[in-house]
Amino acid sequence: MALGVVKSLAAFLLLLNFCMFVIVGAIAGWALNNALNHTYSTGPGKALPVGFSAVYFPMGNEATG
């Protein structure tokens, strides 16, 4: 009887884990897409700055101002 409870609890936790995985993946995909769409752009014939990265997420004090 206790084995059935453990199996159902494990199945519920597995489903919950998968749902959270999908949600976090969707948010990460949106953030990456948004960062690539709003990245630094140059005109034709201009070179990119030194140290340029298409995906740049400020960390620490740069993010908060």
Residue 15 lies in domain: 2-39+53-64
How many structural domains comprise the chain? Answer: 1
| pLDDT confidence of residue 42 | 63
Length of the chain equals 65
Residue 11 lies in a domain: yes
Residue 48 included in any domain: no
> Are the CB atoms for 35 and 55 separated by under 8 Å?
yes
Predicted pLDDT at 17: 98
Do the domain assignments include residue 44? no
Q: Is residue 47 part of a domain?
A: no
- Whole-number pLDDT of residue 59: 62
Could you say which residues of the chain have pLDDT below 70? 1, 39-43, 54-65
pTM: 0.61
Question: Which pLDDT belongs to residue 46?
Answer: 76
**What's residue 43's pLDDT?**
67
